[in-house]
Amino acid sequence: MRLSTRSQILLILLAVAALWLGGLFWFVRDISSMTPPEVPSADAVVVLTGGSGRLEAGFDLLKKGMGKKLYISGVYRGMEVRTLMKLFGQESKEKLDCCVAMGNAENTMENAAETAAWLAKEDVQSFYLVTANYHMRRALLEFRNVGADVDVIPWPVAPEKLDMKNWWRNPSFRGLVIREYSKYLLALVRYAVIR
């Protein structure tokens, strides 16, 4: 028995929806299992701003000597290192002034591009990439696609109130996770088409 065109379209849509949901399930499990690695140190620390806990984690890694320099990508235009350090309680301005640089990217693709340029200029061979756990997969993909030929060590930050066991119950968290998953899929498709 041959299916009608309408039935075929419906089956295709159901298959796509099932694949999308399966991918979302994997994405949520991946986010939930992310933890900072046990690596003694790297050449630098890179923080992609935009969420809670990221800058604090970056400054903490720098203070602990786990990187010699800190690059903050995505800072509001006009903000200075001194202002940032004051915001995050850094008392030793002289010590950190030499080691903290900032960029003003407005999205993840720009984060990767401006950071890659800074990495090359500073001759960095390895760095911790600090961003939210839900943002890490897409960030890693963007860094891979700008040709940053260095060792990237993911340092995922779990946002305080984001409960990954019950994310689907809270409309804000549900929207955040689904939106980030969709952006990740679009980035995958974009780079698959470019290659």
Q: Which two tokens stand for residue 22?
A: 């399966």
What's the pLDDT score for residue 52?
A: 81
The whole model's pTM is what? 0.87
Residue (of 53, 21, 37, 67) closest to 135 by Cα position? 53
Average pLDDT, rounded, for the chain: 87
Is the pLDDT reported for residue 157 higher than 70? Answer: yes
Q: Which helix (H) or strand (E) holds 71?
A: strand 69-73
* Whether the Cβ atoms of residue 67 and residue 46 lie closer than 8 Å to each other: no
Give the dihedral of Cα atoms 177, 179, 183, 185; nearest 10 deg.
70
What's the pLDDT score for residue 98?
A: 75
What's the pLDDT score for residue 51?
A: 80
What's the pLDDT score for residue 41?
A: 87
pLDDT in tens, 104-131: 899 999 999 999 999 999 999 999 999 9
Pick the CATH number of 33-160 from 3.40.718.10, 3.40.50.620, 3.40.190.10, 3.20.20.70: 3.40.50.620
What's the pLDDT score for residue 121?
A: 94
What's the pLDDT score for residue 180?
A: 94
The more confident residue out of 87 and 28 is 28
